[in-house]
Amino acid sequence: MKAKILALLRERKTYVSGQQLCEQFGVSRTAVWKAIEQLREDGHKIDAVPRKGYLLVEEPGTDLTREIYTQSEISSRMQTCWAGKKVYFYESIGSTNVQARQLAEEEAPHGALIVTDMQTAGRGRRGRSWNSPAGTNIYFTLLLRPGFHPSKASMLTLVMAHAVAAAIEEETGLTVGIKWPNDIVIQGKKVCGILTEMSVEQDDIRHVVIGAGINVRQQDFAPELAERAVCLDEACGRRVNRCRLLAAVMEAFERDYEAFEAAGSLMPLRASYDERLINRGREVCVLDPAGEYRGVAQGITDTGELLVELSDGTVQKVFAGEVSVRGIYGYV
């Protein structure tokens, strides 16, 4: 309700009468008034004039000193049918992936979006932790209940990587790359990491949770990361609005997921993914537990493996999860 009022006021850009809001949402004047009061408490400037109604005075987030990061503000920006249609927002939480798995057991719907301002036990890939300070970055997890076979779930990470890259490009105008399979890279540095986890029962997926951490304004990275991490504000030289970016990611993901689901593979996204693939045409080092080797990355397959051409001309398919790939001179 708060989110719907906010979305309507933002769209109209003029005074909207209390009566109109009551009729539009089928609620009482008191309910409208209470929602407006709560939005004001959240920090929204809403002007109220007798006989004219309510006006949203400023766009939150364009103000450099503050950004409103709440469930209503995020929801009011969503233009999707199912991805991020239901938002669970927390000021602070251990890990959005863990919370999403918990909510999945409590019947949260397909497309539920779990967002927090900070994590106290953020998780990275390969058992690493993910530093998640407050007021700086985006930490979210999307809950999915796919109908397809568990063997296809690993491709979802690439679908999310593609969606995040496209959304960042759209919101910032920056050139965004993907380091296979799922790191988002700007100016040669990592700006987003993705962690996908799945729960399977016999041969069916119970649920999949896809978590992403996007560096938006964090400047002080741990010394071991400082050389290879960057945030969006620094990369584009202005303040990026976290709610707008989240909504853009959900829109891009919904579009990409539907294309992926209909095709049953990454085929519809492959060319667009490969265009952003920073490893393409470069020499990479494949850290295979069975033995490291080098080759030139060519692109991905329809099922998300990386194709690497070896010096003898043969092409190797590299499966994510088993190995990691590095540039021969460092991170990319």
197 or 302: whose CB is closer to ligand BTN?
197
Shortest distance (Å) from residue 166 CB to ligand BTN: 19
Scanning 39-47, 103-111, 120-128, 252-260 for contacts with ligand BTN by CB under 6 A, the matching segment is 120-128
Shortest distance (Å) from residue 211 CB to ligand BTN: 3
Shortest distance (Å) from residue 90 CB to ligand BTN: 11
Query: How many residues are listed for the chain in this entry?
Result: 332
140 or 260: whose CB is closer to ligand BTN?
140
**In degrees to the nearest 10, what's the CA dihedral of 286, 289, 291, 297?**
-10
Q: How many CA atoms lie within 13 A of 165 on its CB side?
A: 28
Angle between helices 155-172 and 267-276 (to 10 degrees): 50
Shortest distance (Å) from residue 214 CB to ligand BTN: 8
32 or 306: whose CB is closer to ligand BTN?
306
122 or 295: whose CB is closer to ligand BTN?
122
Question: What is the per-residue binding string for ligand BTN in 91-110, x denoting contact by CB under 6 A?
Answer: ----xxx-------------
Shortest distance (Å) from residue 160 CB to ligand BTN: 11
| Residue 89 contacts ligand BTN per CB under 6 A | no
Question: How many CB atoms lie under 10 A from the CB of residue 133?
Answer: 14
Question: What is the per-residue binding string for ligand BTN in 170-209, x denoting contact by CB under 6 A?
Answer: -----------------------xxx--------------
The answer to whether 164 and 252 are in contact (CB under 8 A) is: yes
113-119/87-93 β-pairing: parallel
From the number of C-beta atoms within 10 Å of its C-beta (0-12, 13-18, 19+), residue 196 rates as buried
Binding positions for ligand BTN, 124-143, rule CB under 6 A: 124-125, 128, 130, 139-141
138-144/113-119 β-pairing: antiparallel
225 or 259: whose CB is closer to ligand BTN?
225
Q: Which position among 18, 53, 181, 213 is part of the footprint of ligand BTN (CB under 6 A)? A: 213
141 or 172: whose CB is closer to ligand BTN?
141
26 or 127: whose CB is closer to ligand BTN?
127
Scanning 90-98, 152-160, 164-172, 282-290 for contacts with ligand BTN by CB under 6 A, the matching segment is 90-98
Pairwise CA distance, residues 196 & 202, whole Å? 19
95 or 241: whose CB is closer to ligand BTN?
95
70 or 95: whose CB is closer to ligand BTN?
95
Count of residues engaged in binding ligand BTN, rule: CB under 6 A: 19
Shortest distance (Å) from residue 298 CB to ligand BTN: 23
Tokens read off for 6: 């906010």
Shortest distance (Å) from residue 223 CB to ligand BTN: 17
Q: Which residues bind ligand BTN (CB under 6 A)?
A: 95-97, 119, 122-125, 128, 130, 139-141, 193-195, 211-213
